[in-house]
Each structure stands twice: as structure tokens, then as C-alpha cells.
Amino acid sequence: MGGTIGEYTTGGAIVNPALVSGLVDPQSIAVSSSDLFVGFAPFNICGSFRCGTVGKYTTNGVPVNPALISGFGLVGGIAISGSDLFVASFQNGTIGEYTTDGVPVNPTLISGLSAPVAIALSGSDLFVSNPHHTAHTALADRYPIHIAVHQPPN
């Protein structure tokens, strides 16, 4: 239970290295406004990657709902667009869509992936890193861990 989410400036200065602490296997994070979403894969707690969750915290580190969405395998990535939260489930081979309040919109929005490990949004396009190359061609390099897309302001 020593995992943390830290906060730093883009210049590398430490703001709070343990903004959220006492976490078990935090794997991915995404921020929207004052909400911080954390994807977990707590293998060493339940003995299976089938107990992954997405938790919700404030950007001040206050827990809102540490188990906002559950039932994933390893949460490979999280992306947010407005009130839509997209979650990559490594073991399930899916990208699911949920509201930022945790309500399922389409838990299998994209299926048939072999092991999605990262996702990113740019406008209405969702980019998925799928390193095992099934019928869905990977959009990033062969073994990427995380990807990000920057969209300059208009």
C-alpha cells in the first residue's frame, strides 16, 4: 500500500510528491477540471488482475470515490472528454465509456483488442495503444506504455 500520485510543475518542481498516498498499484491517471481519476490493478491484494478499478479524487488529493468503477482487469489507460471517461481494460481487451460520475455509457465501446495499455483523445478521435497487434492495428509503436496527444488551443 505504498503507491502514490504525486504533483509536480511542468518545470519539474515538487508540489506534493504524495498528493494521494496509501494506494495499491496505481497504473494510470487522468485529470479533468478539479477531478483526478486513477486506474488501479491491485494484483497483490486480490490475487487476480480481475479486480481493477477506477477511483475518483479531487486535484487536492481528497478521495471522492476510490472505487468509482470496478470489474476491470488491469486498467491500462484513462482518457477524458467533457463528461465522458474512457477506460482501457488490459485483460478484457476493451475500451469502455462511462460518465465522470461512473455511470456506464458503453462498457464495450471498442472490443476485440488484445491488450490495450494506453489511450488518448484528440477532438473526436480516440487513439489506442494495442501492443499485441490483433485485427485492430496499433496506432502507436510496437510496445508503448503510455501515449498522449496535445491539441493546441484555437
Per-residue model confidence as pLDDT tens digits over 81-124: 999 999 998 888 899 999 999 999 999 999 988 888 889 998 88
Residues 13-23 as b/e (b if ≥16 CB within 10 A, e otherwise) read eeeeeebbeeb
What fold characterizes domain 3-129?
Answer: Neuraminidase (2.120.10)
Contacts of 152 (CB under 8 A, 6+ apart): none
SS3 state of residue 122:
strand
Q: Which residue has the higher pLDDT, 77 or 147?
A: 77
Question: What integer best gives the mean pLDDT of the chain?
Answer: 81
Q: What is the pLDDT of residues 76-85, one digit of tens each?
A: 899 999 999 9
Q: So where are the chain's domains? A: 3-129
What integer pLDDT is reported at residue 153 of this predicted model? Answer: 47
